[in-house]
Structure 1
Amino acid sequence: MKQILYVMFLSVLLFSCSDKLSPEEEAYIKRIEEHRAQVNEFMKSDPRSPFNFKNKVEFHELNYFDVKPDFVFTSKLYEYPEKDTVIIYGTKGEPRETVKFGYVKFRYDGEEFKVNVYESTGKDGTKYYSIWFTDKTTNKESYGVGRYLDFEKQDDPNYIYTVDFNLAYNPYCAYNPNYSCAIPSKEDYIPLEIKAGEKKFHN
């Protein structure tokens, strides 16, 4: 599921001076809710869904935090001068090589945070980029392994990316133990309660 960029929404202020939502915020919330409905339908019905893979898992609708427009940020991709190859582990214990490629950053409540972006290589040689993280909700309200954000790298070094935590999702191992998923490292911990995106599936 590809990350959705909301450029039009980000052209206006993310915060309203009153409790009433702006039309742009209302439209954004509606888009996120529609996206979540599409994900639920995929998970329920598509044969590629983790609920329909090997040992079929009982489906119920995914759990989400309320949509929060103030958890949408923009950032350049800051590449590390030296791109170290690091080992991360899957939930079945297998080591995986990945490259710590760069990071994005954002400010929240007056503090600055950064989130690593990793470069991996698929079996066909295609490179793909990933964000995975844990935060202060991990293993409480959100999945204990961590959550993911899709990231599509652009060739333009000045490109401004959307980092939307309302689109944070659980890896497939959160639903079906037949899957193994990358475990975020200690460095991928964000010391913040990110009450946006997907919650735990199994309570």
Structure 2
Amino acid sequence: MSTESTTADAMWLDLLDWRRQVAALYAHVREERERDPVTAHGLWQAGRNALFRNHPQSPLLADARAAFDSLPCWPYDPALAFTAPVEPLPPERLTIPSSTGQDMPLVRFGRVSLPVGTLDVYWIDVYGGGVFLPFRDATSGRESYGGGRYLLDTAKSADLGSTVAGDLVLDFNFAFHPSCFYDPRWSCPLAPPQNVLGAGVRAGERAG
């Protein structure tokens, strides 16, 4: 087996391990959040910091990883933690641009109405799929990534769950930057115009 083949195999297995660790982290966060959201937020931050610092699939560039301490986050704000039912909409297929210019196929299937504004809810329309809820707000391009942040990305196990009644848990304190914010080699779908909030959402991950 060539060295190149061995390296490629390790890369895919590293990616598998990354996704397993993210899934385990969110399972722990969901369980703890029901008891104590602030503690759950601390677990989430600690888990992401450890992955970014130590994992071979960290989105951080090598020089940034050497100096890495923690991902900047706003303090937990309970006023920005919500649950909401998904208002069904007629399924609409569309594409949105990614950070590298590629199109990402989505199906818009619903909408959530929150105190901070209204957001469309999407299904990522590729193999495996997943519920996807990106957003931009008044901090985007200044205090956070201009392409937006993600509230849910269940294809990557970033999922805070649902209530017994079926409402989505939408806690902006767990909003996170896509990988392309840290390294432009990653291709990340950008928040579409219909998911732009007028107010600044100062919760979750922020720019440095």
TM-based fold match above 0.5: yes
Partner residue in 2 for 1:96:
104
Partner residue in 1 for 2:171:
164
Task: State the identity %.
Answer: 24
Distance across 1 between alignment mates of 2:135 and 2:63? 25
Partner residue in 2 for 1:8:
34
User: Match of 1:193, SS?
Assistant: coil
Please tell me whether the aligned partners of residues 100 and 117 of structure 1 are also in contact (alpha carbons under 8 angstroms): yes
Identify which of 62, 73, 79 aligns with 1:56. 62
Partner residue in 2 for 1:15:
none
Please tell me whether the aligned partners of residues 57 and 176 of structure 1 are also in contact (alpha carbons under 8 angstroms): no
Distance across 1 between alignment mates of 2:168 and 2:78? 16
Please tell me whether the aligned partners of residues 105 and 125 of structure 2 are also in contact (alpha carbons under 8 angstroms): no
Identify which of 178, 200, 205 aligns with 1:198. 205
Please tell me whether the aligned partners of residues 113 and 119 of structure 2 are also in contact (alpha carbons under 8 angstroms): yes
Q: Give the partner amino acid of 1:49.
A: S
TM-score (norm 1): 0.77
Distance across 2 between alignment mates of 1:139 and 1:155? 30
TM-score (norm 2): 0.75
Distance 1:7 1:47, change over 3 A: closer
Partner residue in 1 for 2:184:
177
- Listed as ranges, the gaps of 5+ residues in structure 1 are 10-26
Q: Give the partner amino acid of 1:8.
A: E
The CA RMSD measured in Å over matched residues stands at 2.5
Q: Are 2:120 and 1:116 equivalent residues in the alignment?
A: yes
Identify which of 106, 111, 116 aligns with 2:114. 106
Name the structure where strand makes up a greater proportion of residues. 1
Identify which of 55, 58, 71 aligns with 1:46. 55
Please tell me whether the aligned partners of residues 88 and 185 of structure 1 are also in contact (alpha carbons under 8 angstroms): yes
Distance 1:33 1:157, change over 3 A: closer
Partner residue in 1 for 2:82:
73
Structure 1 runs of 4+ aligned residues shifted over 4 Å read 151-158
Partner residue in 1 for 2:195:
188
Distance 1:133 1:155, change over 3 A: closer
Matched residue count = 174
Please tell me whether the aligned partners of residues 149 and 168 of structure 1 are also in contact (alpha carbons under 8 angstroms): yes
- Listed as ranges, the gaps of 5+ residues in structure 2 are 1-21
State the Cα distance separating 1:34 from its structure 2 match.
2.2
Q: Give the partner amino acid of 1:33.
A: G
Name the structure where helix makes up a greater proportion of residues. 2
1:146-169 deviation digits (Å, cap 9, x = unpaired): 100125598999512211000000
Distance across 1 between alignment mates of 2:63 and 2:134? 24
User: Match of 1:40, SS?
Assistant: helix
Distance across 2 between alignment mates of 1:31 and 1:156? 16
Please tell me whether the aligned partners of residues 67 and 196 of structure 1 are also in contact (alpha carbons under 8 angstroms): yes
